[in-house]
Amino acid sequence: MRSCASSIATPGELQAYRKAYSKFGEVSGMREIIIKNNQTNKLYGDGDTIFGSMVFGTETDIIYNNQINDFSTLNTTNFFSVPACLANYITPGKRPGSSMVPLIMFDQNNQRVLQVLNANGGTQITTTTAQVVMLNLWFRKDIRQAINTPRLHSQLLPEEVLAECGFNQTILEQLKKLGHNIQCDVYRRSIVQSIE
């Protein structure tokens, strides 16, 4: 763990990398590191989809990412139903558009780290992170309950609200009355990692 953490680029190195290769101003794949109780802990980086490409390196013991899914190709949608976008087509040396919401929560009184939270899962990263934090902080669920509670997700296209199986039916009925197209999502597309 320590040798892995020490090999991660510093912010200055990321700036140089960003200028050279990124058209979107953000570099996908880096997440946060925090030192807690004198141990370095790193939350998993961007695999894009659950278990990344589903290819395991036998020499490296790493599950390879599926970041290629973040690029657009003509007349297609990606794994997360995002339609193709000309600005996101594959070109040599280019990084795809991507999402990340690394979160470190502090106790405001003593600056003690309360929690480190991260998610992967394409377009669902932002809504997943927001819902887990809301359930943990506002509704006082412990972090495991907050992560395991069924979630909602909506994005610009397609025009639908994905509800994980088991989501509160009363809320879903109210959303239907407001005109939302509710679709049951049979499996979880966004995974959350947390250190408390």
> What's the confidence (pLDDT) of residue 26?
40
pLDDT at 50: 67
**What is the pairing mode between strands 182-185 and 161-164?**
parallel
Question: Looking at this protein, which amino acid is placed at residue 79?
Answer: F
Tell me how far apart the alpha carbons of residues 173 and 4 are, in angstroms, rounded to a whole number: 47
Tell whether 107 is in a known binding site: no
- Position 25 pLDDT exceeds 50: no
For range 101-111, the mean pLDDT: 87
Using pLDDT thresholds of 50, 70 and 90, give the confidence band for residue 120.
Answer: confident
Q: Report, as an integer, the average pLDDT of 25-54.
A: 50
53 is in an annotated binding site: no
Written out in words, the top-level CATH class of the domain with range 2-195 is: alpha beta
The confidence band for 48, taking pLDDT boundaries of 50, 70 and 90, is: low
Question: Residue 114 has what pLDDT?
Answer: 84
Q: Return the half-sphere exposure (C-beta side, CA atoms, 13 A cut-off) of residue 40.
A: 12
Of the two residues 45 and 88, the one the predictor is more confident about is 88
98 is in an annotated binding site: yes
Instruction: Work out the angle at residue 60's Cα, subtended by the Cα atoms of residues 8 and 71, and round it to the nearest 5 degrees.
Output: 65
- Residue 80: name the closest of 121, 52, 118, 45 by CA: 121
99 among the known binding-site residues? yes
| Secondary structure in 3-state letters for the chain | CHHHHHCCCCHHHHHHHHHHHCCCCCCCCCCCEEEECCEEEECCCCCCCCCCCCCECCCCCCECCCHHHHCECCCCECCCCCECCHHHECCCCCCCCCCCCCEEEECCCCCCEEEEEEEECHHHHHHHHHHHHHHHHCCCCCHHHHHHCCCEEECCCCCCEEEECCCCHHHHHHHHHCCCCEEEECCCCCEEEEEC
pLDDT tier for residue 28 given thresholds of 50, 70 and 90: very low
